[in-house]
Amino acid sequence: MSESVGAALALGVARLKEAGVDEPVRDARLLMAAALEIAPGRLTLVSPEPLEAAAAAAFSGFITRRAGREPVSHILGTRQFYGRDFEVTANVLAPRGDTETLIAEALEEPFETVLDLGTGSGAILVTLLAESAARGTGTDLSEAALAVAARNAERHGVAARCSFTVSDWFEALEGRFDLIVSNPPYIGAEEMEALAPELAHEPRLALTDEGDGLGAYRAICAGAPDHLRPGGHLLVETGWQQGADVAELMRGAGFVSVRVIQDLGGRDRVVRGQKPA
């Protein structure tokens, strides 16, 4: 007789705990729901039922991958961000909840055009377009990442209002925008070895500048004034210890009304500046 869904789930949780996964219960439940092709909220209802062979095999494979510290988002192929599901692959950084701070701040001021530097999955750009009537451009050095971003734009109905371009920051860009946003690589090279094993499954290009963690901000702050309309805004996500340094870079590039915004955990997360009108 087949073991029950609940029994298999408990074994999966135990394997993830043994592997050192931070949230084994949550992750196992998400993976079981995916194996059963049901919403996670229905797991309690089906827990006593026998687990069919196909679902058992799928769940076992998922758990093995997660125990190897592959992120859940890569296993499932999607990650929720600002209330929407986004396609995620090994070619892009999975969007984080902390980045929703940038979205909320960007939506505080009206804008008609937006540029997302280092767009990756396109989560920031697509969300801003879905929440407004604006038009936008996303850039990235990775063609594979831009392909994911384009599919996410299609998924959320904003493809007609955006374009994607291979560019090293501003190199391939022309024109000016009302808003420039970016979640650039901000981890210092010397910090990489101490990161969680899950990050080994994400593109290094999206994580580190291979320097002190401020290289991307130097390039963005230096180039942004030439690509912003007068009165336009620049918003960047930062690491929790970088707010003051990035704010100084913005001021040095001529931005005014520079502010450091905290995330829900009270940590520095976004720096905002305005180009003088």
- Please check the confidence at residue 199 and state whether its pLDDT lies above 90: no
Query: Are residues 96 and 49 both part of a single domain?
Result: no
Q: Give the global pTM.
A: 0.91
Q: Examine residue 209 and state whether it is found in any structural domain, yes or no.
A: yes
Task: State the residue range of the domain holding 45.
Answer: 5-68
Confidence of residue 1 (pLDDT cuts 50, 70, 90): low
- Cα 237 from Cα 87, distance rounded (Å): 21
Kindly report, residue by residue over 203-238, the tens digit of the pLDDT.
887 888 788 889 999 999 999 999 999 999 999 999
Percent of the chain topping pLDDT 90: 87
Q: Examine residue 123 and state whether it is found in any structural domain, yes or no.
A: yes
Q: Examine residue 78 and state whether it is found in any structural domain, yes or no.
A: no
- Please check the confidence at residue 80 and state whether its pLDDT lies above 60: yes
- The residue among 173 and 198 whose pLDDT is bigger is 173
Query: Are residues 135 and 255 both part of a single domain?
Result: yes
So what's the pLDDT on residue 203? 82
Burial 95-108 (b: 16+ CB within 10 A, else e): beebbbbbbebbee
Kindly report, residue by residue over 158-196, the tens digit of the pLDDT.
999 999 999 999 999 999 999 999 999 888 888 877 778
Number of domains in the chain: 2
- Cα 143 from Cα 3, distance rounded (Å): 45
Q: Examine residue 167 and state whether it is found in any structural domain, yes or no.
A: yes
Report yes or no: 181 and 228 within 8 Å, Cβ to Cβ.
Answer: no
Confidence of residue 102 (pLDDT cuts 50, 70, 90): very high
Kindly report, residue by residue over 43-70, the tens digit of the pLDDT.
999 999 999 999 999 999 999 999 999 9
Mean pLDDT of the chain: 94
